[in-house]
Amino acid sequence: MLLILGLPLAAAAICLRAPLAAVRAVTAATGVACFGFVLALVPAAAHGDLGYLRLLRVDAVSAVFLLATGFLYGAIAVYSIGYMSGGHGGERGSRHARRFWVGLNLFAWSMLVAPMMSNLALLWVAVEVTTVVSALLVAIEDSDGAAEAAWKYVLLASAGLGLALLATIFAYYAGAQVLGQSYDLGFTQLLAVAGRLPHAAVQLAFVLAVLGYGTKMGLVPVHTWLPDAHSEAPTPISALLSGSLLAISFYAILRFYQVAAAAVGSTFPRDVLLAFGVASLLLAALYLFGQRDIKRMLAYSSVEHMGILAVGVSFGAPAALAGVLLHVLAHAAAKGNAFMGAGVLVRKLGTKRIAGIRGGLDLLPWSGPLFLAAIFALGAMPPFGLFRSEFEIVAGGLGSGRYAAAAFLIIAVTVAFFGLAASATRMLMPAPRAPAPLPQGADRGPAAAGLAADGQERRPVVRTGATAPPVTRGEPSAWMVVPVAAGVIALLVLGLHPPAELTGLFGRAVALLGGGGAP
Amino acid sequence: MPASLAATVAAPSALSGSASVIAVGVLLAEFGMFRQALLRDQVRLYAAQSVLISVLAVVVAATRHLPDLYALAVLSFALKAVIVPAVVRRLLRGIGAIGGDPRWSDIAGSHALSVASAVLVAIAVAAFGFFTVAALGIRSPVLPATALSVSMAVILVAFVLMIVRRDVVSQAIGFLSLENGVSLTALVVAAGLPLILELAFLFDLLVAVVVFGLLIRVHHGRAESMSTAELTSLRG
């Protein structure tokens, strides 16, 4: 546990001074090692809570989120070696690279720390640290878009976290009524006395927490920063933001849910989450159609999946809760994969515009099919983990009599899948060869003009397809393939046969989440 | 108005009277930020607001015998009334927004609404927050409930400030004063919050300010202005 805390910090410190080659190796080793340590924590967490110094505490729920973050950290650290190798050269380039590596380690550290915190206040502090570090990482690409996205992100997320802080304070107030003035907001203490907490304060705290942390999680009315930040950040950071940062915010909401469900009964918190979840699903599924930017498309897919998580918790049945936790893991792997695959496509073809990406399957012998697999996984096709988790969520919803919501979930997920699959097919299938230059030029002309008019596309667009200088078949870097392949394997394992340790972990986590507040 | 309300409910003690007055002062400072036309004055108002909150912390500490709060008051004074404004001022001077180019120091034109309608909206929102929270019946052990209602009004007005102003510094100040409002709430309902947690909050605020500053510089460097009106290229 302490190793997980210490290693990324040490890596970040090393990254400040060491030569870049060493920095790469250290980061990758740290990432993989952290994943190993997290794995080692799983059996222990499945049996009981681990505590340390009253400040750190890992139970089954936090272990799930640690797993998701640890896995992505390892994968991204390896992937980034390939991602950064083709970048800028010279003095500026190396400063840029150094900032990137330091930031990556700090970001991963803050996200690993957050689920280990034993009380709501420190959890808030850790989440706020993830915000400021990731905001700097979003701004690291020196472009207008990145500056704009980072500003919107830091302002919206900070304002949201202001509300979350208010929620924390009201939770303290509620606890202080029972426990006296000087206690430190520990989950266990709060849960132990949950039945006697004043209702109004707990309800207020829960709504504020959903709104506040929901801003960072990307729930719909307050999701607006998310597509910008995801599309403008460097690809490895987008993957971490999407697969891990959103999940951490969801973790914070889950903690408040635990307390609220135990204090005021589970109906009220479930209804709140249902409303936010349904809105997120609906809007994101519709936005998936007609996206022009590959990373924005994946960002909206994240909003959709966060909606699924919220709806899943609102069902409340044990099957649905287990599905939600599995969904967190599978989504981290699948979305990480999709972003990494998208990163390869973008690197290969030099544009983020979906219209500019053609023939991915031909050009990329490995990444093409892997990206396709990731998209299918995101659309919850059968062999992958997300199918199993969404199946469990829907089954749980039907089991607890939420027919309308479950039906809606299925429809929205299907719509979203069509949106994703349509764009992915266009990007991966070969471009029509025959009269290529003319129609493509004609096609691109007005579109490009329109884009320039609304200031969308200021950076140079590398022309691709039949008119461009030939892009040769082959992978940009083996480093960018291996982690994606690992992700697909993880998804298959989660989908076909989750290991017994993991099932035990889920069982315990569900008992923690549902046990206190079963109506 | 809030002070007179408190007076009609019960004859206020010296403590609750002064606490309410200070809370209202915080709210007035928030409204003052609305109509400031110069960045420098806005930063000053923020500092004044922070001083008021530190004073309130001292008042609570003295009357309720919570020695932790003295330390908190000193630290929050040092950080919010001295260091943060200094950092912001230095930043502004660095990019020529103070004493330099009037294009950047003058933010009178950064309102999305006219000043009058913005203030009206803020008053409506503040009243909403004031009465809603009063209706929740959350009673504080240390301070009159009026102060809680006022702090909620401060938070809501800070949101309005962030929404209607279209320049990066005002938005950042809006966020900082939002945090001041939260501190006020914390004083009212969570005066006994352990000092270590309060320290973590304050440290976090400092980090956030530094990051805000960096991003403001990045923004200014790229856009050659403080305005966010141009930040419209990412949508959909």
| CB within 8 Å: A139 and B197 | no
Q: Residue A457: is its pLDDT beyond 50?
A: no
Q: Residue A441: is its pLDDT beyond 70?
A: no
The alpha-carbon gap from A460 to the nearest alpha carbon of chain B, in Å, equals: 15
Residue B47 region by backbone torsions, left for phi larger than 0, else alpha for psi between -120 and 50, else beta: alpha
Is A443 part of any domain? no
Q: Which two tokens stand for residue A95?
A: 């400063």
Say if B201 is an interface residue toward chain A (CB within 8 Å). Answer: yes
Phi, psi of A55 (to 5 degrees): -95, -35
How many CB atoms neighbour CB A40 within 10 A?
Answer: 12
Q: In this predicted model, what pLDDT tens digit does every residue of A305-360 receive, in sequence order?
A: 898 899 888 888 888 888 888 889 888 888 888 888 888 888 877 777 877 777 77
Say if B218 is an interface residue toward chain A (CB within 8 Å). Answer: yes
Please indicate, yes or no, whether residues A111 and A152 belong to a single structural domain of this protein. no
Q: What is the pLDDT, as a whole number, of residue B232?
A: 67
> How deeply is A47 buried, as exposed, middle or buried, from its count of CB atoms within 10 A (0-12, 13-18, 19+)?
exposed
Tell me which of A179-193, A272-286, A486-500, B82-96 is least confident.
A179-193
| CB within 8 Å: A147 and B194 | no
Letter for the amino acid at A75? A
Please indicate, yes or no, whether residues A32 and A140 belong to a single structural domain of this protein. no
Say if B228 is an interface residue toward chain A (CB within 8 Å). Answer: yes
Q: Residue A92: is its pLDDT beyond 70?
A: no
3-state secondary structure of A57: strand
- pLDDT: which is higher, A409 or A92: A409
Say if B162 is an interface residue toward chain A (CB within 8 Å). Answer: yes
Measured between alpha carbons, how far is A96 from A4 in angstroms, rounded to an integer?
Answer: 26
Please indicate, yes or no, whether residues A401 and A284 belong to a single structural domain of this protein. yes
* Percent of chain A scoring above 90 in pLDDT: 2
Crossing angle of helices B84-94/B39-64, nearest 10°?
170
Residue A185 region by backbone torsions, left for phi larger than 0, else alpha for psi between -120 and 50, else beta: left
Please indicate, yes or no, whether residues A280 and A400 belong to a single structural domain of this protein. yes
- pLDDT: which is higher, A510 or B108: A510
Query: What does pTM read for this prediction?
Result: 0.85
| Averaged pLDDT for residues A141-158 | 84
Q: What is the DSSP letter of B81?
A: I
Q: In this predicted model, what pLDDT tens digit does every residue of A496-514 receive, in sequence order?
A: 877 888 888 888 888 877 7
Please indicate, yes or no, whether residues A73 and A53 belong to a single structural domain of this protein. yes
Which among A87, A116, A145 is the end of a domain? A116
User: Band of the pLDDT at B216, cuts 50, 70, 90?
Assistant: confident
Convert B201-226 into a string of H (helix), E (strand) and C (coil).
HHHHHHHHHHHHHHHHHHHHHHHCCC
Residues A127/A60, Cβ–Cβ less than 8 Å: no
Say if B67 is an interface residue toward chain A (CB within 8 Å). Answer: no
Q: Residue A94: is its pLDDT beyond 70?
A: yes
Please indicate, yes or no, whether residues A241 and A388 belong to a single structural domain of this protein. no
Which residues on adjacent β-strands are paired with residue B227? B167
| CB within 8 Å: A165 and B233 | no
| CB within 8 Å: B223 and A184 | no
Please indicate, yes or no, whether residues A345 and A225 belong to a single structural domain of this protein. no
Q: Residue A471: is its pLDDT beyond 70?
A: no
Is A454 part of any domain? no
- pLDDT: which is higher, A89 or A517: A89
| CB within 8 Å: A169 and B162 | no
Chosen for mutation from B66, B136, B233, B235 (greatest number of chain A CBs closer than 10 Å) is B233
Please indicate, yes or no, whether residues A231 and A299 belong to a single structural domain of this protein. no
Which among A264, A299, A315 is the end of a domain? A264
What residues of chain A lie within 8 A of the CB of B199, using their CB?
none
Q: What is the pLDDT, as a whole number, of residue A456?
A: 38
| CB within 8 Å: B192 and A145 | no
Q: Which two tokens stand for residue B203?
A: 């440290």
Convert A227-245 into a string of H (helix), E (strand) and C (coil).
HHHHHHCCHHHHHHHHHHH
Identify which of A288, A314, A57, A129 has the alpha carbon closest to the alpha carbon of residue A210: A314
| CB within 8 Å: A158 and B208 | yes
Is A29 part of any domain? yes
Give the domain extent around A291. 265-431+472-519
> Do you know the residue count of chain A?
519
Is A465 part of any domain? no
3-state secondary structure of B6: helix
168-197 in chain A: CB under 8 A from chain B: 169-170, 172-173, 176, 180-182, 184-185
Measured between alpha carbons, how far is A271 from A313 in angstroms, rounded to an integer?
Answer: 10
Q: Residue A446: is its pLDDT beyond 60?
A: no
Identify which of A139, A117, A379, A101 has the alpha carbon closest to the alpha carbon of residue A248: A117
Work out how many CB contacts closer than 8 A connect A with B. 125
End-to-end CA distance of chain A: 35
116-155 in chain A: CB under 8 A from chain B: 119, 121-122, 125, 128-129, 131-132, 135-136, 139, 144-145, 147-152, 154-155
Please indicate, yes or no, whether residues A235 and A299 belong to a single structural domain of this protein. no
How many CB atoms neighbour CB A36 within 10 A?
Answer: 14
Q: Which of B172, B204, B222 sits opposite A128 (nearest CB)?
A: B204
Please indicate, yes or no, whether residues A78 and A212 belong to a single structural domain of this protein. no
Q: Which two tokens stand for residue A282?
A: 């609906």
Q: What is the DSSP letter of B80?
A: I
Which among A264, A292, A313 is the end of a domain? A264
Chosen for mutation from A117, A120, A169, A459 (greatest number of chain B CBs closer than 10 Å) is A169
Measured between alpha carbons, how far is A377 from A494 in angstroms, rounded to an integer?
Answer: 11
Q: Which residue has the tokens 């990329």?
A: A364
Say if B192 is an interface residue toward chain A (CB within 8 Å). Answer: yes
Which residues on adjacent β-strands are paired with residue A50? A58
Please indicate, yes or no, whether residues A258 and A279 belong to a single structural domain of this protein. no
